[in-house]
Amino acid sequence: MIIVAVAVTALLMSKRKDQVRVRPQGPVVAVDFLTASFGNSVVFTMPDGRALVVDPAGSTATRRLVDYLRQAGISSIDVLLTRPGSGSEECLQRLFEAFEVRRVIHQGLPWPRPLEGPGGQIAEVLIYGGDSVRLCTGLRLIALSPLRGLEDNKSLPLVTCLQYGKTRFLLMSDANAEDEGYLIRSGQDLASDVLVIGRNGRLGRTSLELLFAVKPRHCIVLAGSGANRPSRGLLERIDGKNTGANVYRTDIHGIIKMISDGNVVTVEQ
């Protein structure tokens, strides 16, 4: 009985230890996965206070995003567009007016006209599968697809990985089953701590093969209401009982906050 009691106590202590979230010391990258009211954008805040804003969307959502970034004390940003749309230019102009925007990163053809803010022309960086951009010390943006040579088709989603030290965040954008198949066959290292599920968790995204290749510890579903809710089939595939991953949904959990010290990703909310 004593042995059993000791074993149970040890197990409970182990579980309590796992549940304690200790904020890493030293320089960290903070990641905010925002809700639909902010356009389901993702914000990577770097150790120097600058931020990378991923996929701002919608005029109303962008106004709220601007307020959110200001309240966070952010004044300088880069912007990553994984799939520019008809409203992207309006979103960019609102960001240009509110912040120092160093560069806009996307794939495809250059913007029809130069990107300009109050301070003048803004750098435009085109990336394709195999390219990478250094954002700050230890933090790289890696493009996984599409391949160079397909840049005339702006409808192709830009799949990227944000790597800080040993930790990785895989952003699937609007990748469909065909795009996922390419990534799996390409032989690229897809293993990531955090997998941001393809747009809204729609039916046909995030195959079992992709999950096996990524082996995520956390899955993030950026979702809204109605047609923008994740499909039941996808939720079953990424369920922790099947993958061992923690699953977070912005339509249920609200804004999801994580930090990385380069060695481990910690969930703050």
pLDDT digits 0-9 by tens, 214-247: 999 999 999 876 656 788 888 999 999 889 999 9
pLDDT of residue 154: 54
Asked if residue 96 is part of any domain, the answer here is yes
This prediction has a pTM of: 0.87
Asked if residue 120 is part of any domain, the answer here is yes
The rounded Cα 263 to chain-centroid distance in angstroms is 18
Overall number of domains in the chain: 1
Model confidence at 24, pLDDT cuts 50, 70, 90, reads: low
Domain housing 194: 25-267
pLDDT of residue 85: 74
Asked if residue 8 is part of any domain, the answer here is no
Asked if residue 10 is part of any domain, the answer here is no
- 242-247 long-range Cβ contacts below 8 angstroms, 24+ apart: 243/211, 243/216, 243/219, 244/217, 245/195, 245/216, 245/217, 245/218, 245/219, 246/217, 246/218, 246/219, 247/218, 247/219, 247/221
pLDDT of residue 113: 85
Asked if residue 1 is part of any domain, the answer here is no
Query: How much is the average pLDDT of 188-210?
Result: 84
pLDDT of residue 141: 98
Task: Classify residue 185 by burial, with Cβ atoms within 10 Å: 0-12, 13-18, 19+.
Answer: exposed
pLDDT digits 0-9 by tens, 128-174: 999 999 999 999 999 999 887 654 555 678 999 999 999 999 999 98
Asked if residue 58 is part of any domain, the answer here is yes
pLDDT of 200 > 80? The answer is: no
pLDDT of 117 > 70? The answer is: yes
pLDDT of residue 13: 38
pLDDT of 268 > 70? The answer is: yes
Asked if residue 188 is part of any domain, the answer here is yes
State the average pLDDT for the chain. Answer: 86
pLDDT digits 0-9 by tens, 62-101: 999 999 999 999 999 999 999 887 778 899 999 999 999 9
CATH number at residue 151: 3.60.15.10
Asked if residue 11 is part of any domain, the answer here is no
